[in-house]
């Protein structure tokens, strides 16, 4: 306990309680700005007396009880608590950019040093100390520095902070929007509602940590105003299990590439929590909690494309992102998770807008929310095993997608773009691999393009069908092979998407 308190306080000190701004020309060292909000750790005397009264001993005898605790960053955006679309015109548009050195990263053979180590069960190199095998990064005694170390790190964590802020607002908004009766009808108990409140609190901690990693107000970005597509409890949970899926997968896509191992460490410790949240929202939506063996990773530009449509405007001092917004892709027959027989899903059975638009509620006789029998009910539960799966290999999937050049995101200030030629394939990104299906029956009506494909049948390992759960599809101009570690190299080939396909 004492260790944990000391660690948390030390972290804040190392990251952000810096005395002054200095950029020393000789060493090139930079000291982050201090925060404008009060970051001083303080003692909550009410909490201290409460702990002492429960324990029945003086607070001074409970280790850590009287230690000061660091505060969370404020989420108050000039008093804004409204939601809805943005109608104004932006003064700045487009992603942050300078003068890119090229148009595509070259494909190279493996690094020769990666082909040397012999995992034959013996120690290949001398141990530095007893019980410490040689190797590892950040294991040689240098003091950890919890700070982004490159533009890649900065822009990745900034994207992460945009995601944490919307989750904080969304979880609170769900609690504020629906009545106790509506939650009860969806199968939620008072304890379940408290869990949503607790998950919102977790988000304020994540937003605080990521703000610290970005180096104070010079680098962090404030909370924005959001626009949500749901109208009912089930739709809200379906939207949230999709939004937390791209939040989690967005981090799995970049965390192993960060220059700062220290930042990756802290990020993992927050994303482990986010992953639990995603599963809980699936359970609240009455979906099978985890129908895959591995959670997939997606590139930052995919996560930003999925997130941007739900941010309506951000304060003037917001930091801008460098990632790409791809043209929007839509599945016209997105499997409807509110049906007990999703095979009967028709066209446009979603509510609202955007790549995470929730499945719309259907009449009671077709609804799984109204049922309570095993295999057909989708009331909130630890596990609901559908007798009729949401999707199946061989399913015809109908698609529509936009041309580039549309304004999206905060203050309509980002512009969708693609560097790809005409799309020919649908890429399916799930678990450890990608797979492709041909894009067929392509047509254009008005401003929208239409096409279709067939849901593939591939397995990660025997017994683990790869395409299941809340997963990702996009349109590409080529069918190159990728794994999670090099998937961002697909970006110059993406013509539209990604979109969250509700495979299961």
Ligand X SMILES: *[C@@H]1O[C@H](CO)[C@@H](O)[C@H](O)[C@H]1NC(C)=O
Beta carbon of residue 6, minimum distance to ligand X (angstroms, whole number)? 24
Count of Cβ atoms closer than 10 Å to residue 162 Cβ: 27
By CB under 6 A, tell whether 93 contacts ligand X.
no
By CB under 6 A, tell whether 140 contacts ligand X.
yes
By CB under 6 A, tell whether 344 contacts ligand X.
yes
Binding mask 300-339 for ligand X (x = CB under 6 A): -------------xxxx-x-------------x-------
- Of 53 and 441, CB closest to ligand X: 441
- Alpha carbons 138 and 130: distance in angstroms, whole number: 18
By CB under 6 A, tell whether 494 contacts ligand X.
no
Beta carbon of residue 219, minimum distance to ligand X (angstroms, whole number)? 16
Beta carbon of residue 155, minimum distance to ligand X (angstroms, whole number)? 17
CB 494 within 8 A of CB 474: yes
- Of 150 and 341, CB closest to ligand X: 341
Total number of residues that touch ligand X (CB under 6 A): 49
Q: Identify which of 470, 472, 467 has the alpha carbon closest to the alpha carbon of residue 358.
A: 470
Binding mask 376-395 for ligand X (x = CB under 6 A): ---------xx-xx-xx---
Beta carbon of residue 100, minimum distance to ligand X (angstroms, whole number)? 19
Sites for ligand X among residues 459-488 (CB under 6 A): 465, 468, 480-483, 486
The token pair at 380 is 């909130």
- Of 12 and 426, CB closest to ligand X: 426
By CB under 6 A, tell whether 407 contacts ligand X.
no
> What sign does the CA torsion over 49, 50, 53, 59 have?
negative
Query: What are the distances in angstroms from CA 464 to CA 294, 395, 501?
Result: 9, 18, 18
Burial class (CB in 10 A: 0-12, 13-18, 19+), 258: buried
CB 318 within 8 A of CB 410: yes
By CB under 6 A, tell whether 372 contacts ligand X.
yes
- Of 65 and 434, CB closest to ligand X: 434
- Of 278 and 318, CB closest to ligand X: 318
Segment interacting with ligand X (CB under 6 A) among 115-123, 143-151, 203-211, 415-423: 115-123
CB 356 within 8 A of CB 422: no
By CB under 6 A, tell whether 433 contacts ligand X.
yes
CB 380 within 8 A of CB 233: no
Count of Cβ atoms closer than 10 Å to residue 323 Cβ: 23
The CA R_g of the chain, rounded to the nearest whole Å, is 24
Beta carbon of residue 315, minimum distance to ligand X (angstroms, whole number)? 6
- Of 12 and 402, CB closest to ligand X: 402
DSSP 134-196: S--SS-SSPPP--S--SHHHHHHHHHHHHHHHHHHHHHHHHHHHS-HHHHHHTT--HHHHHHH
By CB under 6 A, tell whether 187 contacts ligand X.
no
By CB under 6 A, tell whether 138 contacts ligand X.
yes
Strand partners, 83: 226
Query: What are the distances in angstroms from CA 141 to CA 137, 267, 432?
Result: 10, 21, 34
Q: Which residues bind ligand X (CB under 6 A)?
A: 88, 91, 107, 118, 120, 122, 124, 137-138, 140, 142, 288, 291, 313-316, 318, 332, 341, 343-344, 347-348, 372, 375, 385-386, 388-389, 391-392, 400, 411, 432-433, 440-441, 452, 465, 468, 480-483, 486, 489, 503-504
């Amino acid at each position: 306990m004492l260790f944990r308190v000391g660690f948390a306080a030390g972290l804040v000190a190392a990251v952000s309680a810096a005395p002054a701004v200095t950029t020393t020309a000789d060493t090139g060292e930079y000291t982050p700005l201090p925060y404008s909000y009060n970051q001083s750790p303080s003692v909550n005397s009410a909490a201290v007396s409460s702990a002492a009264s429960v324990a029945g001993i003086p607070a001074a005898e409970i280790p850590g009880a009287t230690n000061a605790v660091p505060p969370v960053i404020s989420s108050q955006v000039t008093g804004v608590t409204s939601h809805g679309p943005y109608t104004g015109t932006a003064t700045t548009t487009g992603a942050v950019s300078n003068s890119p050195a090229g148009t595509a990263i070259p494909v190279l053979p493996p690094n020769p040093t990666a082909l040397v180590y012999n995992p034959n069960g013996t120690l290949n190199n001398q141990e530095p100390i007893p019980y410490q095998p040689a190797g590892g990064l950040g294991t040689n005694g240098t003091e950890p520095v919890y700070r982004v170390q490159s533009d890649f790190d900065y822009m990745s964590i900034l994207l992460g902070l945009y995601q944490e802020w919307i989750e904080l607002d969304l979880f609170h908004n769900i609690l504020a929007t629906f009545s106790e009766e509506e939650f009860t009808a969806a199968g939620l108990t008072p304890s379940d509602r408290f869990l949503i409140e607790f998950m919102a609190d977790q988000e304020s901690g994540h937003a605080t940590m990521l703000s610290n990693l970005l180096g104070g107000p010079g680098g962090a970005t404030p909370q924005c105003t959001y626009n949500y597509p749901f109208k009912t409890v089930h739709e809200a949970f379906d939207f949230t299990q999709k939004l937390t899926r791209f939040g989690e997968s967005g981090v799995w896509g970049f965390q192993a590439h960060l220059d700062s191992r220290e930042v990756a460490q802290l990020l993992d410790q927050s994303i482990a929590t986010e992953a639990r949240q995603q599963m809980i929202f699936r359970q609240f939506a009455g979906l099978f909690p985890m129908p895959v063996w591995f959670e997939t990773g997606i590139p930052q530009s995919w996560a930003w494309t999925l997130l941007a449509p739900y941010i309506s405007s951000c304060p003037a001092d917001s930091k801008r992102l460098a990632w790409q917004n791809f043209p929007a892709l839509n599945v016209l027959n997105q499997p409807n998770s509110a049906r007990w027989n999703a095979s009967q899903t028709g066209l446009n059975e979603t509510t609202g807008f955007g790549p995470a638009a929730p499945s719309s509620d259907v009449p009671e006789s077709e609804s799984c929310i109204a049922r309570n029998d095993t295999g057909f009910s989708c009331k909130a539960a630890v596990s609901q095993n559908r007798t009729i799966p949401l999707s199946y290999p061989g399913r015809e999937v109908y698609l529509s997608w936009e041309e580039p050049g549309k304004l999206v995101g905060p203050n309509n200030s980002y512009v969708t773009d693609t560097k790809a030629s005409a799309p020919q394939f649908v890429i399916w990104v799930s678990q450890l691999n990608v797979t492709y299906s041909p894009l067929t029956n392509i047509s254009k009506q008005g401003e929208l393009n239409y096409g279709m494909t067939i849901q593939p049948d591939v397995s990660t390992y025997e017994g683990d069908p790869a395409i299941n759960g809340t997963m990702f599809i996009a349109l590409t101009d080529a069918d190159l092979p990728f794994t999670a570690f090099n998937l961002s190299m697909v970006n110059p080939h993406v013509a539209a998407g990604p979109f969250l396909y509700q495979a299961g």
